Amino acid sequence: MGKGMKAGKKPGGKKDNMQAQMAQLQMMQQKMEAVQSEIDEKQAEATAGGGAVSVTVNGKHQLVSVSIRPDVCDPEDVEMLQDMILVATNEALRQIDEISQSEMSKVTGGMGMPPGVM
């Protein structure tokens, strides 16, 4: 055994292991970025009031479209229309969050990475 070496230890063992872990983390980060780009392109649609109001959001949590059936535009009951828009929008956002978490867990192996961590 050479001078300064301990039995069972490889030269640079900790350093090599750290470099391998860093490379693995970088690969995971690249995969997560690719998946996030795919998620950004996905859309979720939800309706309220039996289809009277329909909204679509994308993976960037942006409202893409709102569709309102003309027969629900009652000037005497604007609050109901507002409520339906809120319900449909919140449901679409919940759906896109679910899609995002599902896709990211495929990359992270269920490590439970918090949203926005990359």
5-44: per-residue pLDDT in tens? 555 555 567 888 999 999 988 998 899 999 999 999 999 9
Around Cβ 93, how many Cβ atoms within 10 Å?
16
Radius of gyration (C-alpha) of the chain in whole angstroms? 25
pTM of the model: 0.70
39-75: per-residue pLDDT in tens? 999 999 999 999 999 999 999 999 999 999 999 999 9
> How far is 118 from 111, CA to CA, in rounded Å?
13
What single letter denotes the amino acid at residue 82? Q
Domains of the chain are 43-109 (3.30.1310.10)
Residue position matching structure tokens 């690249």: 30
